[in-house]
Amino acid sequence: MMLCMKTVLITGCSSGYGLETARRFHSEGWNVVATMRAPRADLLPLDARLRVVALDVTKPESIAAALEASGPIDALVNNAGIGLFGAFEATPMATVREVFETNTFGVMAMTQAALPQMRERRSGLVVNVTSSATLAPMPLVAVYTASKTAIEGFTASLELELAELNVRVKLVEPGYGPSTRFTENGGARMAGLISEPYAPLAARIFQSLGKPSAVTTAADVAEGVWRAANDTTGQLRFAAGPDAVALAKAR
């Protein structure tokens, strides 16, 4: 049964998972507000049901402006995130904070800003996109994993907090997606983070990532978000991609 939700705001739609999720919801007949830090209208179809809106989830004034421009929304998909790969010892705390500002505090800020209208209507949905890094430990992504694991705990608690208001909260956990811009987007941020003592470990990891047994595509994640949005069973977590599904089953 498809729930009667018509407008979704999706963060981080300039590429990868967010872009494909915006396309999926639009193809299913929803009104889509696709947000990006640097808006590009050419990435998505020109259609009355689809708008591209500027949004930087680390800036309160940008969040407020984006929500005002969007009008009433039935669903919020917190997909915007940045990647980080490197030895924790070599990672400046300023970089740690930068990752948390987007991946953790940005999600919380967007959610907090969207909740009043959902609470007043006693209807709404929040989907937080995390990572399969939360399902099984992996070296050299300690900061990234921490930023996403924080959202797992936040979401699980928030689900209970909002249930009586009829606002649903879901988690989507994508697997490893080599087709995304994870490395490209974090290139400058990751420079110098593989210090000499960690180079052999990093080399082994890069070799294994080059020969993955299963990977996650943007379409897998879009499907996971779509399933979460239309779930009526009360399920909280939705692994997205064959590798993430395997990790979730093994927990």
Cβ neighbour number for residue 5 with a 10 Å cutoff: 18
Q: What is the arrangement of strands in the sheet containing 31-36, beginning at the earlier edge strand?
A: 50-54, 31-36, 7-10, 75-78, 124-129, 167-174, 237-240
Determine which one of 17, 144, 176, 198 is catalytic.
144
Give the integer Cα–Cα distance in Å for 23 and 102: 23
Strand ranges for the chain from DSSP E: 7-10, 31-36, 50-54, 75-78, 124-129, 167-174, 237-240
Q: Give the amino acid at 153.
A: G
Among this protein's residues, is 17 annotated catalytic?
Answer: no
Indicate which residues carry an active-site annotation: 144
